Chains A and B, each alone.
Chain A
């Protein structure tokens, strides 16, 4: 077993800029939560003098998934090459004329068997069968322009197969950005698969030879260091951070006479009971607290995918809550984010999972300098990040009474805190600008590679 990073295929030839193939499925214009991290990673590579070829899937394919936001492309360094492969998630197909009879008869059963079939090529439902296309695409890019590094951002994990193939065939070193981690189910906080499962064997094989592994928080890093002690020194925490241009950039003055506005911006990916708990607390707080009597709660983001896009049970629950001042405004373009935050008086941080989940949202929320209501498990990595934030209501857990008090406390914070306190809250986030975090990460990776 390898216990030290592998030797790269050699330094780039004299005068040639080093080249990284960045497997970043979810790169702009896809509107995924990981998009910003990918964009900043690519930009930082360019900044340190590298050529970057991003491998993504066709933009049409994102329309049925998390959607696209063309404004995200604006901040991609123009020197970044983007290769879009004609791949799509077959399970999300909604054109019935492309269905065979078996699928039409039993759409859910058909998708279940599709997923089983997909894992035969690579042990990952929905994506496993992309393996060969990705392997060929990476080989082609390398043939046309020699690569010095492959960086695979997962999900999807099938990216690892392409990085591995190029390593096996051409000895091009690779690094992995797991973000959330594969062998840990970050939502439920349990091991996602055993070491001797197919996924387990893939993970071990790939990580053994990887230059570096990035993950988003300490608990996940700890999981990997414990699982692969021989690899511990190559595991790095690269937090998500926030984009400075998403921050409203000024202190905020709430106007309770107009009615306070609470906001949530992000994918609506939490469970129905979770959403209902938040809405029940919101309702109770409005009844109890005069400051909230005319308050509104705006949610913006993507909801559902495939046939359920924009039309799942969550959308219905939100619709039913309109009488309580709840408003779901659909997806927001990245370019609008700062102005959306500027119109809000407090943030509602609704997050799934527990100690292994951080979520990029928490940083962006902090940077608004607005009071934050935490609607997530008590033991959550977001609590670690928020600890010390002067306008945080604390995390009472998914408990209606506790959350009701949090909404009330946030309402008071929104109208009673001084400009200085707002500024202090915004300053708490300074340490987490995405640019600062990613520039260090990329710099370290390049140095690691040169060792």
Chain B
């Protein structure tokens, strides 16, 4: 009998595995599978049971019960070594490996483990992949079926010396670990003591850095995330080496970001990276400067700070927030307008306008535009999805390469690559309409557009990212916003949008086909509040729950219908935390029927038939499409004065008609109770909302604005 041992670090392809096991069995082999993947996860036992394996063995799935030092080492090790750290001590595995005739790694993560096991069984063929393993079994069969004398179970001498050396290399870590155990760090005194130790004078830089990292790790282990961040930041403040200082501040910030918290020391972390970027830039080390700048922008615009929270430092004081960034010389070099050699050519008069509509995957708001101009006699439309082509996708989001190019003034191979891939599109098009002012805007403005007119649309989230700061707006002719408050925020943030090289600005409503939303509502809908779209923290559905609870105090016929997919837990820790609290609030309300989750749907108009009041509970929006569709359906709109913009010259209050916007959940509850007090009042208010939506935002109205944008003569060309 040929003994085959398969090792997997991730879920195998079950169907293929089952087929192969049958083939192994037919060759007279017995197959065992050991894996570090969870073998008891949903559906897995059934799948594995079908595969006719002789034995299954669950290897340790993680290093949870192992030492802190080992886990730290593991976190910095390649995946293959981590699997070996988990599995290498498993006695079942070692014993089966010694007796196996063929050793097989099923995936790249399992290769190192099998490679190490093969040192203990030097006669057995060791293979990567099922087909090579089958071939090895066939070859063995021709020789009698087994790998023959298994020889010594000791690994070769070089393997032993290598392992001893590794143990010695990690001694200092073990010593520090012994001094910072969990009980010490749990006590406030102990933790403070160690924090002060990392700032002791006279300590060599490397020792200070290493010690602070160990202390921080102990604190994190003891649940003191902010203490860990402070320790690293304290040590960083004492370190003169710019790179190491920046690294430690960065690690400090990431401790808290990893926990979904806006870090207190983010300004210092960004400043340290910028100082490093400037120093490297001054020395002519462009690659290093670009890396540091990239990291500074990454930290400054991290989604945990701005997107996954209910507030953002950027919204509070936009210019103040970016001021330190633009004091950096490297950043100034990055944001220097390069302009274009020739102005955009006028639209042709002897043939249709060649319009290239482009985006990277997300075409949610493009359908009507594509449809309308695709059939327009005055336009020849081409559509380019940058994410659908691997070359274009690669350059569209390549932040470090973009930065390096800007800092070398267009001398990089990135520039050449963008030129090569995008020039044919620019040569064809009279006008490029780029949807979303994100990575692709940075990419496209890397090169001079020639005489092609470039129009970019910025929705809302982009303003909270680094991309507008990496876009050369002097190569954009027209920048389209979906609402005035987004324009205000973006121009406050990006200095180039306030200078002489700024593009023309337009505010154009999103293209929405609202006519199909106006359907008759049943009388019961009067008591149904609705929220369409709850997939991001910024939608703040907890606010809607607060409103619901207030109206239910008066009349428990009120319900809240939630339409759309849930937030994705994987987005960030901050999202997970919000979601947990939201679910806790929701549970009793769902059980009592006060809240009904309708889930994702392709038929929003159908769902709106049952909704009498449409809410916008968000902390920020560009223009709230779900709310506008609700208004078109005849639901009474109740809009929170989006806190990111409340009190500013433009906000939800200036975007929507008087009376729709409320300042608090209490005010919202009062408006709902008043407008739905009788069926007549409710229907009358809904009718007014429909009229407003259809006369202002519906596509027949908005399409004229787009025609003017693309084909109008009033727009003086540059």
- Picked from A94, A106, A307, the residue with its CB within 8 Å of the CB of B78 is A106
A90-115 CB contacts (< 8 Å) to partner B? 94-97, 99, 101, 104-109
Task: State which of B10-18, B302-310, B396-404 sits at the interface with chain A.
Answer: B10-18
- Contact between A306 and B129, CB atoms less than 8 A apart: yes
Against A, the Cβ 8 Å flags (1 = close, 0 = not) of B112-135 are 101110100000011111111001
Chain A residues with CB under 8 Å of B131's CB are: 304, 309-311
- Contact between B80 and A107, CB atoms less than 8 A apart: yes
Chain A residues with CB under 8 Å of B128's CB are: 94-96, 107, 306-307
B115, B127, B131, B389 — most chain A CB neighbours (10 Å): B131
Chain A residues with CB under 8 Å of B118's CB are: 96-97
4 closest Cβ pairs, A-B complex: A319-B15, A307-B129, A104-B115, A316-B13
- Contact between B129 and A309, CB atoms less than 8 A apart: yes
Interface residues on B, range: 35 or more
**Does A84 belong to the interface (CB within 8 Å)?**
no
Chain A residues with CB under 8 Å of B20's CB are: 310-311
Against A, the Cβ 8 Å flags (1 = close, 0 = not) of B10-50 are 00011111011000000000000000000000000000000
Q: Which residue in chain A gives the minimum CB-CB distance to B135? A: A63
Tell me how far the C-beta of A165 lies from the nearest C-beta in chain B, rounded to whole angstroms. 28
Q: Which residue in chain A gives the minimum CB-CB distance to B417? A: A194
In the assembled complex, the Cα of A307 lies from the Cα of B116 at a distance in Å of 18
A153-210 CB contacts (< 8 Å) to partner B? 185, 188, 190-191, 194
What 12 additional pairs, Cβ within 8 angstroms, besides A96-B111, A309-B130, A310-B16?
A101-B115, A104-B112, A104-B115, A105-B112, A185-B391, A191-B420, A309-B129, A310-B20, A310-B130, A312-B16, A315-B13, A316-B13
In the assembled complex, the Cα of A63 lies from the Cα of B134 at a distance in Å of 13
- Contact between A309 and B389, CB atoms less than 8 A apart: no
**Does A431 belong to the interface (CB within 8 Å)?**
no
A104 and B80 in contact (CB under 8 A), knowing A96-B118, A188-B390, A320-B15?
A: yes
Chain A residues with CB under 8 Å of B424's CB are: 190
Tell me how far the C-beta of B139 lies from the nearest C-beta in chain A, rounded to whole angstroms. 12
A313 and B129 in contact (CB under 8 A), knowing A99-B111, A191-B420?
A: no
Q: Which residue in chain A gives the minimum CB-CB distance to B104? A: A96
**Does A308 belong to the interface (CB within 8 Å)?**
yes
A contact residues, total (Cβ < 8 Å): 32
In the assembled complex, the Cα of A68 lies from the Cα of B559 at a distance in Å of 67
Against A, the Cβ 8 Å flags (1 = close, 0 = not) of B125-163 are 111111110010000000000000000000000000010
- Contact between A105 and B81, CB atoms less than 8 A apart: yes
- Contact between B129 and A308, CB atoms less than 8 A apart: yes
A96 and B105 in contact (CB under 8 A), knowing A310-B130, A310-B131, A315-B13?
A: yes
23 contacts between A and B (CB under 8 A): A64-B132, A95-B126, A96-B103, A96-B105, A96-B128, A97-B125, A101-B162, A104-B111, A104-B112, A105-B78, A107-B108, A185-B391, A188-B390, A190-B424, A307-B105, A307-B108, A310-B130, A315-B13, A315-B16, A316-B13, A316-B15, A316-B16, A319-B15
**Does B421 belong to the interface (CB within 8 Å)?**
yes
In the assembled complex, the Cα of A312 lies from the Cα of B15 at a distance in Å of 10
In the assembled complex, the Cα of A194 lies from the Cα of B16 at a distance in Å of 41
- Picked from A64, A106, A188, A308, the residue with its CB within 8 Å of the CB of B391 is A188
- Contact between A94 and B19, CB atoms less than 8 A apart: no
**Does B317 belong to the interface (CB within 8 Å)?**
no
Tell me how far the C-beta of B117 lies from the nearest C-beta in chain A, rounded to whole angstroms. 9
Chain B residues with CB under 8 Å of A105's CB are: 78, 80-81, 112
In the assembled complex, the Cα of A191 lies from the Cα of B132 at a distance in Å of 37
- Contact between A97 and B78, CB atoms less than 8 A apart: no
**Does B416 belong to the interface (CB within 8 Å)?**
yes
**Does B596 belong to the interface (CB within 8 Å)?**
no
Chain A residues with CB under 8 Å of B116's CB are: 104
In the assembled complex, the Cα of A311 lies from the Cα of B16 at a distance in Å of 6
In the assembled complex, the Cα of A194 lies from the Cα of B413 at a distance in Å of 10
A311 and B108 in contact (CB under 8 A), knowing A109-B78, A190-B389, A190-B421?
A: no
Q: Which residue in chain B gives the minimum CB-CB distance to A189? A: B389
In the assembled complex, the Cα of A312 lies from the Cα of B421 at a distance in Å of 31
A188 and B127 in contact (CB under 8 A), knowing A96-B105, A315-B15, A319-B19?
A: no
Chain A residues with CB under 8 Å of B625's CB are: none
Q: Which residue in chain B gives the minimum CB-CB distance to A64? A: B132
Tell me how far the C-beta of A272 lies from the nearest C-beta in chain B, rounded to whole angstroms. 12
Q: Which residue in chain A gives the minimum CB-CB distance to B107? A: A307
**Does B79 belong to the interface (CB within 8 Å)?**
yes
- Picked from A96, A104, A106, the residue with its CB within 8 Å of the CB of B127 is A96
Chain B residues with CB under 8 Å of A107's CB are: 80, 108, 111, 128
- Contact between A95 and B132, CB atoms less than 8 A apart: yes
Chain B residues with CB under 8 Å of A64's CB are: 132
Chain A residues with CB under 8 Å of B130's CB are: 309-311
Tell me how far the C-beta of B258 lies from the nearest C-beta in chain A, rounded to whole angstroms. 24
Chain A residues with CB under 8 Å of B81's CB are: 105
A309 and B13 in contact (CB under 8 A), knowing A96-B118, A99-B111, A190-B391?
A: no
Tell me how far the C-beta of B381 lies from the nearest C-beta in chain A, rounded to whole angstroms. 15
Tell me how far the C-beta of A196 lies from the nearest C-beta in chain B, rounded to whole angstroms. 8
Tell me how far the C-beta of B137 lies from the nearest C-beta in chain A, rounded to whole angstroms. 14
Against A, the Cβ 8 Å flags (1 = close, 0 = not) of B85-107 are 00000000000000000010100
In the assembled complex, the Cα of A105 lies from the Cα of B103 at a distance in Å of 16
Chain A residues with CB under 8 Å of B129's CB are: 94, 306-309, 311
Tell me how far the C-beta of B131 lies from the nearest C-beta in chain A, rounded to whole angstroms. 4
Tell me how far the C-beta of A247 lies from the nearest C-beta in chain B, rounded to whole angstroms. 31
Tell me how far the C-beta of B460 lies from the nearest C-beta in chain A, rounded to whole angstroms. 29
In the assembled complex, the Cα of A309 lies from the Cα of B13 at a distance in Å of 13
Chain B residues with CB under 8 Å of A97's CB are: 118, 125-126
Chain A residues with CB under 8 Å of B111's CB are: 96, 99, 104, 107
In the assembled complex, the Cα of A97 lies from the Cα of B102 at a distance in Å of 12
Q: Which residue in chain B gives the minimum CB-CB distance to A304? A: B131
A33-60 CB contacts (< 8 Å) to partner B? none
- Contact between B127 and A95, CB atoms less than 8 A apart: yes
Tell me how far the C-beta of A134 lies from the nearest C-beta in chain B, rounded to whole angstroms. 26
In the assembled complex, the Cα of A94 lies from the Cα of B15 at a distance in Å of 22
Tell me how far the C-beta of B136 lies from the nearest C-beta in chain A, rounded to whole angstroms. 9
Against B, the Cβ 8 Å flags (1 = close, 0 = not) of A399-416 are 000000000000000000
- Contact between B416 and A309, CB atoms less than 8 A apart: no
Tell me how far the C-beta of A376 lies from the nearest C-beta in chain B, rounded to whole angstroms. 15
Against A, the Cβ 8 Å flags (1 = close, 0 = not) of B324-350 are 000000000000000000000000000
Chain A residues with CB under 8 Å of B417's CB are: 194
In the assembled complex, the Cα of A106 lies from the Cα of B132 at a distance in Å of 19
Chain A residues with CB under 8 Å of B17's CB are: 311
Tell me how far the C-beta of A103 lies from the nearest C-beta in chain B, rounded to whole angstroms. 8
- Contact between B15 and A96, CB atoms less than 8 A apart: no
In the assembled complex, the Cα of A64 lies from the Cα of B103 at a distance in Å of 18
- Contact between B13 and A108, CB atoms less than 8 A apart: no
Tell me how far the C-beta of A309 lies from the nearest C-beta in chain B, rounded to whole angstroms. 4
Against B, the Cβ 8 Å flags (1 = close, 0 = not) of A11-53 are 0000000000000000000000000000000000000000000
In the assembled complex, the Cα of A152 lies from the Cα of B128 at a distance in Å of 33
In the assembled complex, the Cα of A185 lies from the Cα of B417 at a distance in Å of 14
Chain B residues with CB under 8 Å of A310's CB are: 16, 20, 130-131
In the assembled complex, the Cα of A312 lies from the Cα of B115 at a distance in Å of 22
Tell me how far the C-beta of B367 lies from the nearest C-beta in chain A, rounded to whole angstroms. 16
In the assembled complex, the Cα of A109 lies from the Cα of B81 at a distance in Å of 13
In the assembled complex, the Cα of A308 lies from the Cα of B16 at a distance in Å of 11
In the assembled complex, the Cα of A94 lies from the Cα of B105 at a distance in Å of 10
In the assembled complex, the Cα of A262 lies from the Cα of B183 at a distance in Å of 69
- Picked from B162, B390, B416, the residue with its CB within 8 Å of the CB of A194 is B416
Chain B residues with CB under 8 Å of A95's CB are: 125-128, 132
- Contact between A319 and B115, CB atoms less than 8 A apart: no
Chain B residues with CB under 8 Å of A104's CB are: 80, 111-112, 115-116
Chain B residues with CB under 8 Å of A94's CB are: 127-129, 132
Chain A residues with CB under 8 Å of B416's CB are: 194
Tell me how far the C-beta of A98 lies from the nearest C-beta in chain B, rounded to whole angstroms. 9
A94, A191, A310 — most chain B CB neighbours (10 Å): A94
Tell me how far the C-beta of A404 lies from the nearest C-beta in chain B, rounded to whole angstroms. 18
